[in-house]
Copies of this chain bind each other. A is one copy, B any other.
Amino acid sequence: MPYFDAASSAPLHPVARQALIAALDEGWADPARLYREGRRARMLLDAAREAAAEAVGCRPDELVFTSSGTRAVHSGVAGALAGRRRTGRHLVVSGVEHSSVLHSAAAHEEQGGAAERVPVERTGAVDAEVFAGALREDTALACLQSANHEVGTVQPVAAVAGACRAAGVPLLVDAAQSLPWGPVGGDWSLLTASSHKWGGPAGVGLLVVRKGVRFAAQGPLDERESGRAPGFENLPAIVAAAASLRAVHAEAAQEAARLRELTARIRARVPELVPDAEVVGDAERRLPHLVTFSCLYVDGETLLHELDQAGFSVSSGSSCTSSTLEPSHVLKAMGALSEGNVRVSLPMGAADDDVERFLAVLPGAVAAVREKLGAPVAAGRAAGSESLVLDVLGRQCPVPVIELGKVIGDVPVGGTVTVLSDDEVAALDIRAWCHMRKQEFVGEEPADRGTAYTVRRVS
């Protein structure tokens, strides 16, 4: 069954599996102990640290192993902020960071700090100058992902790192999505990553803190991992993580070229095959294996279910039924349609045939969902044909834009449709719909119940 969600978690790489099983026998003892089994564990740990550091492009003593990428981010952000508390308590992050960064920023605000979220362009990338403009004298830390986890857009890390260096602000790079493809260039100060994203085992993250960066680990004292990652080392998994990172990097260039061709095919074909579908993210500056698109008039969870039934495992940043950070804060920050969103992230080794099958199955799956959702219009009409009021109060995404799509043809070019909706996603989706359908979004204002969104027909 084709698994196309490597960005969530990659299947275990054969090298990781082999290294893990070998290390189970050699690496279960406490590396802090001086007897034979402890010394053997220590040697494995040291070797893994050297291998991982070489793959990241840092010194071994700058890298510690955490229990996950999320923990690396939490500890890295908290430690860097505390290390520069005297400078100030201002934190800069992009608006499309992973939830671990955004939740760290929120925790910082709860403790009285300030956090600024830099907006992104429609591609999902920050503008390096806009990012640099957010740096202040009291900025303690800036965070920018190397590439976005939902849409694959590569961020201008080197330019932003240069601006941060010039301003004397350390930059933390969340490299979770890009590290499988190679080291992160640029003069960054801290870096985080997650083993199970590159085909290593779960339970291992990386936190790199460059020499000279002020850092004060938070939480109760613990002597493990230079005091930056408390708890007994997850050694066999660490050994497997380091070994597989090297193996993955050795294959990266060739596999990236192959997968880039497959994702380019998806980017080109989806809009041809599926009516009212929009591919999002930067077409050029992007991860090789990841492509995201949104389909109008489709509920993402239902579409995922259809695709799962057809044998394809993909992910969605869509709203409506998921519990957290939904609708996708990334798509929202980009101003992209959040409904009917599908993220395809190919694991290394993904087969050409499977991608072709996916493209063959997708149009039918989207059509099936649209048919299920093709509910009757629940609209009251005002007198006169120049303007029309569509009452979809109480109806959830994607019904508001489905109904809007049905009635826009009922007013003449130059006429308006006013949508009354109390679904908060409507604010995003009606704008995105206008962008896709080349109609004009006139504005919104509070109504007796919900909000009135006005759209002018221009074509």
Contact = CB atoms under 8 A, between A and B. Distances in A.
A439 interface: no
Interface residues on A, range: 35 or more
Given A71-B231, A203-B67, A231-B68, A223 B34 contact: no
A100 B222 contact: yes
A263 interface: no
A235 B204 CA distance: 12
Interface string A201-239: 111010000000000000111111000001111111100
Interface of A: 1, 3, 5, 8-12, 17, 20-21, 24-25, 28-30, 33-38, 67-71, 74, 77-78, 99-100, 103-104, 106-107, 194, 196, 201-203, 205, 219-224, 230-237, 301, 304-305, 307-308, 312-315, 323-324
Nearest to A39: B308
A33 B12 contact: no
B33 A315 contact: yes
Among A10, A106, A202, A235, max chain B CB count under 10 A is at A202
Contact of A314 (B35, B305, B315): B35
B104 A220 contact: yes
A221 B108 CA distance: 11
Nearest to A10: B28
User: Which 7 interchain pairs have the tightest Cβ spacing?
Assistant: A68-B231, A67-B67, A203-B234, A35-B313, A103-B220, A70-B231, A203-B203
A300 to B, nearest CB: 11
A232 B301 contact: no
Contacts of A28: 9-12, 196, 201-202
A234 B67 contact: yes
A68 B33 contact: no
Contacts of A305: 34
Contact of A29 (B9, B29, B230): B9
A308 B234 CA distance: 24
A313 B30 CA distance: 11
A36 B69 contact: no
Contact of A220 (B33, B68, B100): B100
B222 A37 contact: no
B313 A38 contact: yes
Nearest to A101: B220
A222 B70 contact: yes
Given A28-B202, A202-B232, 8 more contacts: A37-B313, A68-B231, A70-B222, A70-B230, A78-B219, A107-B219, A202-B237, A223-B324
